[in-house]
Amino acid sequence: MHQLHDITTPRDNVVRAPARAVTAEPPPAVAEPVATLRIERDALDRFFAGGLKIVIARAEAPRWRAIDLPGDFVLFTLERDGASAILCALGADPAGDLVDAKLPPSECLAAVALSDEAARDLEAFANWWARHVPETAPPVLRLSGPARADRVEQRVHAALLGQISARQSQAEARVVTLQSALAELRETHEDTHTVLLTLREMMGAQNLPPLRSALALHPGSATLGPTRGGAEFTVRQRLPIHSQGLAALALHVAAPRTRGNGRLHVRLFAVESATTLISWAIPYDQLHSGWNLLEIPSVIVGPRRSVDLVLRWTGEGRGTPLVSLSDQLIGAGARAQVEGGKTLDRAVAVQVWTGLPGARISASAFAQAGEAFPNTSAGRQVFLSASRLAEARLIQPRNLKLGFEILSLLDQSRVLQLHPVAGHVSHAVIPACCPPGMQRALATVKTDCPQGPHVEYAFTWVPAGRVATVGAEGALEAEGARGSGWTRVPPNTIGSVMLALDEPTEEPGDLYIATRIPPGGSDAFAWARWLDLRFDLK
């Protein structure tokens, strides 16, 4: 009898394969950040110029020399030196003269790496770039991996072509955006132009003047000014109108027969903002009895402010012009206040005009720009207004019996006509019309008749108030005078006269205009007209 055996294989007897040792792969090395970038001096201009720029690792320069690239590409090699990166042109020695780069250039096509080690250095360089100008940082293209030389060149060409294509697409999108914005701007401009034309037609139909009277306080019998022994005196008065649209004001003055040396300072002061809108410093000898118009070179715009009129006399106490007081009833808040806070029962006689923004600029010889008013001496061109032209006085010739007026203002055209006289030189003066800081005076002239003769035009700048005389041959003589010389203009032809100074004037000036007929000519129909006068300020 056979005994049966249970054949089992114990678990402990199972033969196992020896276990393999498992080791963790080290993490890829991270390049130290770039803190500064130094560029070879000879490569500096090319790196910051335009064009297709590529940055590569210096260690890979031999491989790049074997890659055929179009001549439009400019390659720069990058080499690390601790926390600094050194950039130079391909083939140049980085040990040359180096310059620290404070900022990266405006654009770079790409930084291209052919190995992982080169990619780390180029990424650190791109991060430095992004810290300064993020929107222009170049992309880092990794083309690492084993490949034949011809395959590497294909990879490089494909990567660069992709970058150029992406840049072209961005440029086209930008052009489309700009074209859309330009179309909207053009449409808005056309709408605005249409509105302005319509507004101009409506104003013309309604015959609206460019200026309108906003306040008129007529003079009474009383006057105000400094006492005989006082050299300085100040008056303040609140105007019952706001600052927006102020274009001109006039003061009624009682001037003595003999005037002393001094100035009347007139200031428009914005109360809420505590700023000077505009001020004038007028010499005593330039003030005359009656209304004295003070023009504002450009209509005041901006927010509405309460306005104080401040008058201050400085100079000698004798021969001081006085301002008239008005007998008209006005609120207590608009009465004149003198030094010490005393309030009078009357207001200073004054007229104020307002205008529309964009009204024609006029010249105001004694105007000084304030904080809330555009500076008239900063690259501005001011025109001589009709009210200034109306102040022109004929100097010569006089007491001649002629069939025409030598000097006349044509109100319809806002031009001044100075008719020449055969055998004489016609001179007229517009006193104190040239503002300080004048560097160039220009005039547009025309003998406005086809049957007229040739006419010669000229003008002369003379310091305001300086005595000027006319010599035997019609030449103007005055100390400090600056003349334009004569300009001959054919009939019915627009011409120009110009006086250019080497240095801007430091004081206001009188402008003498002159016309004459060439020898042997006739003065018939010699309608010599000054269409406009304008000044370029420093």
DSSP string, 201-260: HHHHHHT--SEEEEEE--EEEEEE---TT-S-EEEEEEEEEESTTEEEEEEEEE--SS--
How far apart, in whole angstroms, are the C-alpha atoms of residue 349 and residue 291?
9
- Residue among 363, 385, 392 at smallest CA distance from 511: 392
Q: How many CA atoms lie within 13 A of 457 on its CB side?
A: 28
Band the pLDDT of 107: cuts 50, 70, 90: confident
| Cα–Cα distance list, 299 to 59, 243, 278, 296 (Å) | 69, 10, 11, 7
How far apart, in whole angstroms, are the C-alpha atoms of residue 477 and residue 73?
70
Instruction: Place domain 386-537 in its CATH homologous superfamily.
Output: Galactose-binding domain-like (2.60.120.260)
| Cα–Cα distance list, 243 to 77, 269, 309, 511 (Å) | 65, 9, 11, 32
Average pLDDT over residues 436-461: 91
Strand duo 140-142 + 110-113: pairing: parallel
Which H or E run includes 323?
strand 322-326
With tokens 């000519």, the residue in question is: 521
Write b or e for each residue in 216-229: b if 16 or more Cβ atoms lie within 10 A of its Cβ, otherwise e: ebebeeebbbbeee
Contact by Cβ (8 Å): 67, 56: no
At 383-396, the pLDDT tens digits run 887 778 888 999 99
pLDDT at residue 379 is higher than 60: no
How far apart, in whole angstroms, are the C-alpha atoms of residue 54 and residue 318?
81
pLDDT at residue 8 is higher than 60: no
pLDDT at residue 25 is higher than 50: no
Q: What are phi and psi of 512, to 5 degrees?
A: -100, 125
| Cα–Cα distance list, 2 to 5, 8, 384, 521 (Å) | 10, 19, 144, 165
Residue spans per domain, the chain: 36-164, 213-376, 386-537
Average pLDDT over residues 444-458: 93
For residues 200 and 162, the model is more confident at 162
Please enumerate, as own/partner, the contacts of 93-97 that have beta carbons within 8 Å and a separation of 24 or more.
Answer: 94/40, 94/58, 96/40, 96/41, 96/42, 97/40, 97/41, 97/42
Contact by Cβ (8 Å): 486, 506: no
| Helices (H) then strands (E): counts for the chain | 5, 34
Contact by Cβ (8 Å): 109, 89: no
At 399-416, the pLDDT tens digits run 888 888 999 988 666 789
- CATH class for domain 213-376? mainly beta
At 304-354, the pLDDT tens digits run 889 999 999 988 777 889 999 998 877 778 889 988 788 898 899 999 988
Beta bridge partners of 350: 251
Q: DSSP secondary-structure letter at 413? A: T
Residue 215: how many other CB atoms lie within 10 Å: 15
pLDDT of residue 116: 86
Contact by Cβ (8 Å): 238, 336: no
Percent of the chain surpassing pLDDT 90: 23
For residues 40 and 198, the model is more confident at 40
Whole-number mean pLDDT of the chain?
A: 82
At 131-150, the pLDDT tens digits run 888 888 899 998 876 666 66
